[in-house]
Chains A and B, each alone.
Chain A
Amino acid sequence: SQELEQSPQSLIVQEGKNLTINCTSSKTLYGLYWYKQKYGEGLIFLMMLQKGGEEKSHEKITAKLDEKKQQSSLHITASQPSHAGIYLCGADGNGNKLVFGAGTILRVKS
């Protein structure tokens, strides 16, 4: 079965700094989703990547999909306290079943 490994597990950055979170799959990626979660709350959809080489941006968050490496990266530019939370990558399993990584906890110090 497919497994997703996220790195780092947690991250503390100074406000204004850039950061990158990685998600590596054990199998070929056909669809990769990034979600953000505030502790104990639901997941907020950030973006979805479908094709190798695809890159999407939303405000100061950019995600890329490297099909050959079976990896996706999420990059945040000029981090703000509002970026703090848990970032989860998810990939299509069988049908609509999503398989998730363990998550990356991001803290932004102001």
Chain B
Amino acid sequence: KAGVTQTPRYLIKTRGQQVTLSCSPISGHRSVSWYQQTPGQGLQFLFEYFSETQRNKGNFPGRFSGRQFSNSRSEMNVSTLELGDSALYLCASSKTLAGQETQYFGPGTRLLVL
């Protein structure tokens, strides 16, 4: 079974630009969560989608948004990029929304904002 895939793997943008990251979950998984990982803040939850609806949201500004498609693939968008948005963005998938269900992570997209 193929794992979680993320594209692109690496991205360089400049301040003020916007970026869209993509995540394809494991086949059969309907929940997709996004996390931001930085050396200073560690791994932080961004948001979670299930059946095309955002179910949970972390403490990030409105510049960070996402969506999920009917095939469970998800995209994350960051507008008006800031230097501090440079990070490894990870998505994870699980079968359902139920708590205590293992989330499987993709390889991540490393974003560098210049």
**Which of A20-28, A30-38, A55-63 makes up part of the contact surface?**
A30-38
Does A67 count as interface, using CB distance less than 8 angstroms?
Answer: no
Q: How far is the CB of B108 from chain A (nearest CB, A)?
A: 5
Q: Is the CB of A42 within 8 A of B107?
A: yes
Q: What total of chain A residues lie within 8 Å of the partner, measured CB to CB?
A: 26
Residues 92-106 of chain A, each 1 if its beta carbon lies under 8 Å from chain B, else 0? 111111111111000
Q: Name the B residues within 8 Å of A94 (CB-CB).
A: 56
Asked if A95 meets B100 with Cβ closer than 8 Å, knowing A42-B106, A102-B42, A103-B42, the reply is no
Contacts of A48 in B (CB 8 A): 100, 102
A50 at the interface (CB under 8 A from B): yes
Q: Which of A40, A42, A92 is in CB contact (< 8 Å) with B105?
A: A42
Give chain B residues whose Cβ lies under 8 Å from the Cβ of A103.
42-43
Query: CA separation between A39 and B92, bound complex, in Å?
Result: 17
By a CB distance below 8 angstroms, the chain A residues around B99 are 30-31, 92, 95-96
Establish whether residues A97 and B48, one from each chain, have CB atoms under 8 Å apart when the complex forms: yes
A96 near B42 (CB under 8 angstroms)? no
Q: Are A41 and B33 in contact (CB under 8 A)?
A: no
Contact B48 A42 (CB under 8 A): no
Minimum C-beta distance from B107 to chain A (A): 4
Interface pair B102/A33, CB less than 8 Å apart: yes
Interface residues of A in 76-110 (CB under 8 A from B): 88, 90, 92-103
Task: Specify which of B4, B50, B105 lies most central, judged by the most chain A CB atoms within 10 Å of its CB.
Answer: B105
Q: Which residue of B lies closest to A41 (CB)?
A: B107
- Is B22 an interface position by the 8 A CB rule? no
- A contact set with B: CB distance below 8 Å: 30-31, 33, 35, 40-45, 48, 50, 88, 90, 92-103
Please name 18 further chain A to chain B contacts, defined as beta carbons within 8 Å, in addition to the given A41-B108, A92-B99, sorted by A numbering: A30-B99, A31-B100, A40-B108, A40-B110, A42-B6, A42-B108, A43-B90, A45-B104, A95-B55, A95-B56, A95-B97, A96-B33, A96-B101, A97-B33, A97-B58, A98-B43, A98-B92, A100-B42
